[in-house]
Structure 1
Amino acid sequence: MSAAMAWRVIPWASLVETPWKNGGGTTTEIAVAPAGAGMDDFDWRLSAAKVGGPGPFSSFPGVDRTLLVVDGAGIELRLAGEGSVLVERGGSGFTFAGDAAVTSTLPGGPILDLNIMTRRDRFHHAVYRARDVGPVGLPLGADLVLVVALAGRAELAAGDRTVRIDKLDTLVIDGDATGLELEGGGDIVVITLIRQGA
């Protein structure tokens, strides 16, 4: 493990689920920066939501977001003036502007989704999935990396250190994460966060 790398695990079991204001589902905040930030002043936010029915998405001006489906068949997003897209389980998600007027339907019933949101003048994010054995191949230059297990248990190693994360546990890596490898199978999503104007 690089001396510049520090990491910690956020166990899913330690997090609290709260209802949406409109009653359409529940959300679980996994991590947010700065710590304690609300919906209007975060730099970035990672959360998971249970979506139980169709309805409008909340507006987040100045924010870019990516949504992935963890459980359930999928969610259809209808973006005003841009048509619709079906986000299915197993994919790398869909990225869209939080400013957009979005409504959703659930063709296959309720889902659990994963959301990463970044305020675009402060952070940029990229999302990709890694499966099975082998190097994760993290890009250089990320300020922070979030690794979320999407199914089963994943083992990640860097140098002589190994960490195991179960479904929806999150590994937070601060610093240079090159050389991180996924061992023993698994299905993870890797989110890189790069500070803007740094």
Structure 2
Amino acid sequence: MVAAASDLNGAPSVSPGVALIRGADLVAAPWKNGGGVTREVTAFPQCEAGAAPGDFVWRVSVADVAQAGPFSRFDGIDRTLVLLSGAGMLLDEMDGARVVNTHALTQPLDIARFDGAARIDARLIDGATRDFNLMVRRDMARGEVDVWRAGAQPRTLDGDVALLFCASGAVTVTLTAGDTGDTGDTGDVGARQLDTGDTLRIDAAQALACTLAGDGAVLAISIRYTR
């Protein structure tokens, strides 16, 4: 469920293109290959009932991995995985029976990037894990994921779509618009409180200054359409 964003005193935000997605509202669904459970955060276009699992330009989700096994494969998709919790996992990229590369996710917020069409076998290090997953159709868009921590210097959000996913702790996000043009004024887009698992989606994010306060970390995702 996507709810209209609100400021810290509960008043609805009037800023267009900003939406707050609560982690508690996400719905679990089986993986494409039936080997695990995922919760879609948001996607474009938004998946309709009955749509094929790969019918998206980009998609963001959170997955629970309870056992070792193969990942679903998505032709034409670039994938970025970030470990959120658990002891971690090793992602073996296979060519037949041979391991050609291993992506190690051993600490929270470790990142792995790989071709969605690759054959990936996951090995759990010590029990179940939870991970964040960005999938982007490479002939239509580009996606980047960075880790931003509260208390650091202000950063800049810029892209056709920007997402701030609270990976740990609690974070207050303050967005400030840049130069508005003729007046030279800046606009305060407002402050939002994110708890672990919450996401702030900003469409048409143009040079937004972003300040984080609190004790947590967020994944900053920037998506740009190429056609």
Do residues 56 (structure 1) and 88 (structure 2) align?
Answer: no
Query: Paired residues, what number?
Result: 194
Equivalent residue, structure 2, for 1:75: 89
Shift of 1:158: 1.7
Shift of 1:30: 0.8
Equivalent residue, structure 2, for 1:6: 17
Equivalent residue, structure 1, for 2:103: 85
Distance in 2 (CA, whole Å) between partners of 1:17 and 1:4 is 30
Shift of 1:190: 0.4
Q: Specify the SS of the correspondent of 1:108.
A: coil
Q: Specify the SS of the correspondent of 2:156.
A: coil
Distance in 2 (CA, whole Å) between partners of 1:55 and 1:18 is 17
Equivalent residue, structure 2, for 1:144: 161
RMSD of Structure 2 on Structure 1 (CA) = 1.9
Q: Residue by residue, what CA displacement relative to the aligned partner does 1:74-123 show, whole Å, maximum 9, x if unpaired?
A: 11000125221211233341110001111110012110111000000111
Residue identity in the other structure for 1:190: A
The 1:174/1:92 distance shift into structure 2, 3 A limit, reads farther
* Structure showing greater Rg: 2
Equivalent residue, structure 2, for 1:168: 197
Question: Is the CA contact (8 Å cut-off) linking 1:92 and 1:128 kept in structure 2?
Answer: no
Distance in 2 (CA, whole Å) between partners of 1:17 and 1:107 is 24
Distance in 1 (CA, whole Å) between partners of 2:207 and 2:163 is 10
Shift of 1:6: 2.8
Question: Is the CA contact (8 Å cut-off) linking 2:164 and 2:219 kept in structure 1?
Answer: yes
User: What is the 5 A alignment of 1:18-37?
Assistant: 18-20=29-31, 22-36=33-47
Distance in 2 (CA, whole Å) between partners of 1:66 and 1:136 is 24
Equivalent residue, structure 1, for 2:149: 131
Single out whichever of 17-26 and 188-197 deviates more from structure 2: 17-26
TM-score when scaled to structure 1?
0.90
Single out whichever of 87-96 and 126-135 deviates more from structure 2: 87-96
Question: Is the CA contact (8 Å cut-off) linking 2:76 and 2:138 kept in structure 1?
Answer: yes
Structure 1 stretches of 4+ moved >6 Å: none
Equivalent residue, structure 1, for 2:182: none
Shift of 1:21: 5.5
Distance in 2 (CA, whole Å) between partners of 1:36 and 1:73 is 31
Question: Is the CA contact (8 Å cut-off) linking 2:93 and 2:101 kept in structure 1?
Answer: yes
Distance in 1 (CA, whole Å) between partners of 2:66 and 2:21 is 25
Question: Is the CA contact (8 Å cut-off) linking 2:84 and 2:109 kept in structure 1?
Answer: no
Q: Which runs of 5+ in 2 are unaligned?
A: 1-13, 177-187
Calculate percent identity across the aligned residue pairs.
Answer: 32
Q: Specify the SS of the correspondent of 1:112.
A: strand
